[in-house]
Amino acid sequence: MYMTIEQTAEYIGMPAEQVRQYVLAGRIRAVHDGEQFLVNQDQFTLYFSQLETAKRLIVEYWNEPIPPDRDIKDED
């Protein structure tokens, strides 16, 4: 499914101007139909899956208990 720049910006949660700059720079693939750029929605499936994986890893990292330090000495 093809989306306009504005629809793409809403879909990925970025400002429309930033998406437009990414399209012009080639960081987001798009086709120009003579009037506007159209972006294929399927190219973002890998992006969203990697984003979910990164979020899950961050949550796991923050939920991991801190191991006790064996080098701590009681100096009382």
Judge whether 15 lies within some domain.
Answer: yes
Judge whether 37 lies within some domain.
Answer: yes
Judge whether 76 lies within some domain.
Answer: no
Judge whether 12 lies within some domain.
Answer: yes
The one-letter code for the residue type at 11 is Y
H or E element: which one contains 10?
helix 5-12
The 3-state secondary structure of 25-66, one letter per residue: HCCCCCEECCCCEEEEHHHHHHHHHHHHHHHHHHHHHHHCCC
Tens-level pLDDT at each residue, the chain (76 residues): 999 999 999 999 999 999 999 999 999 999 999 999 999 999 988 888 999 999 999 999 999 988 877 776 766 5
Judge whether 73 lies within some domain.
Answer: no
Q: What is the pLDDT of residue 32?
A: 94
Judge whether 74 lies within some domain.
Answer: no
75 vs 41, 50, 68, 70, 72, CA distance in Å? 62, 47, 17, 14, 9
The pTM assigned to this predicted structure is 0.66
Judge whether 70 lies within some domain.
Answer: no
Expressed as residue numbers, the domain containing 28 is: 2-63
Angle between helices 5-12 and 16-25 (to 10 degrees): 110
